[in-house]
Amino acid sequence: MHVVVFTRSTPDTAAKVEVDGSGAVIWGNAATVVNPWDEYALEEAIVQAKNGGGKATVIALGGEMHNDALKHSLAMGLDEAIRIDDPELDPTDSLAYATAAAAAVNKIGDVDLVIFGKESVDVGTDQHTYMLARKLGWTMLSYVSKILEVDYAAKTIKVEKMYEQGKQVVTSKLPAVISVMKEINEPRYPSFIGIRKAGKATIPVWSLADLGASLPDKKVDVLAFNNPPTKDVVVEMIEGEPEEQAAKLVDKLLEEKVL
């Protein structure tokens, strides 16, 4: 029994991310952090692997910057970490990501569960999670807020999914790919012992050749990154008694078609 969780390093959410003169995305010298959504996925992977008496492996796709996230994962208590990196591979291309990720899951073998955080904070996408499930031919269970039951022998899972409108309880066959919400658990902090272990670990890097994977043609071309336009804000003070102010405000809002 094996749980695989995918993660990546992202700029700290407090960092100021912008596009520089050459069109590159920069965030000064701010540190990278493990994608905040992934902390819940990592915690869940540790818990599920322990409950199922198996192993939890964390994988990141991309360059050395992602070692930070992998080391953080090991420090939290993941059993193994792997980085997939190849000059051919652009992990921001979701289909390429899913293709390489599926090859890695197949290479590992006895995987019952693949866990993702809800999305990546930096690129704001989750389509690679669905694509991976499709590539593997497994069920996709998104927005999981609670794992209610798992039977690794009978290969079934029962989860609670969270939507804006409410909650849904579904059962499914394993293996499955799930993406988790922050309601699912309280991620642990890396312990001193975990940090020691992570510090000593060397993280294997798998190439596409190691995976025996060949990528599909690129479906997406990123043409350019731009800073969001700065908005000109005009402040207008409305004078008068509260009643008058309210009436004037309503007129304005109607005029501007806000109401």
Partner 1 sequence: MVLQAVPQTRFTEEHEMFRKSVRAFVEKEIRPYVDEWEEQEIAPLHDLFKKMGDLGFLGLNYPEEYGGAGADIWYTVVLAEELARAGAAGIPMAVFVQTDMATPALAKHGSHELKQKYLTPAIRGEMVCAIAVTEPNAGSDVAGIQTRAERDGDEYVINGSKMYITNGTQADWLCLLARTSPGEGYQGMSLIIVPTNLPGFSVSKKLKKLGNHSSDTAVLSFENVRVPVSNRIGEEGMGFYYQMEQFQVERLVGALGGVAGAEYTVRDTIKYCQERKAFGKPLIANQWIQFKLAELLTEIEAAKQLNYSCAALIEAGADGMEITRIASMCKLKAGRLMREVADTCLQFYGGMGYMEETPISRYFRDARLTSIGGGADEIMLGIIAKLENMNPR
Residues that bind partner 1 in the complex, under the rule CB under 8 A: 31, 33, 71-72, 75, 189-193, 195-196, 198-199
Nearer residue to partner 1 within complex by CB, 13 or 127: 13
Residue 192 beta carbon to partner 1: minimum distance, rounded to whole angstroms: 3
Would you call the peptide bond into 175 cis, given omega within 30 degrees of 0 as the criterion? yes
Nearer residue to partner 1 within complex by CB, 71 or 128: 71
Alpha helices by DSSP H, listed for the chain, are: 38-51, 67-76, 94-108, 127-136, 192-200, 208-211, 242-255
How far is Cα of residue 167 from the mean position of the Cα atoms in its chain? 21
Pairing state between β 167-173 and 156-162 = antiparallel
Query: Tokens 């798992």 correspond to what residue?
Result: 150
Residue 196 beta carbon to partner 1: minimum distance, rounded to whole angstroms: 7
Q: Pull the structure tokens for residue 21.
A: 């003169």
Residue 232 beta carbon to partner 1: minimum distance, rounded to whole angstroms: 22
User: Residue 257: what are its φ and ψ, rounded to 5°?
Assistant: 60, 30
Residue 75 beta carbon to partner 1: minimum distance, rounded to whole angstroms: 6
Residue 31 beta carbon to partner 1: minimum distance, rounded to whole angstroms: 8
CA distance 236 to 251: 14
Amino acid identity at 13: T
Residue 58 beta carbon to partner 1: minimum distance, rounded to whole angstroms: 15
Contacts of residue 134, defined as CB under 8 A and 6 or more positions apart, other chains included, come to 98, 140
Cα atoms in the Cβ-side hemisphere of radius 13 Å centred on 168: 12
> Angle at the Cα of 69 (from 24 to 216), degrees rounded to 5?
60
Nearer residue to partner 1 within complex by CB, 96 or 198: 198
Nearer residue to partner 1 within complex by CB, 23 or 204: 204
Query: Tokens 């796709």 correspond to what residue?
Result: 61
Nearer residue to partner 1 within complex by CB, 67 or 145: 67
Nearer residue to partner 1 within complex by CB, 75 or 101: 75
Residue 44 beta carbon to partner 1: minimum distance, rounded to whole angstroms: 18
CA distance 220 to 123: 14
Nearer residue to partner 1 within complex by CB, 31 or 209: 31
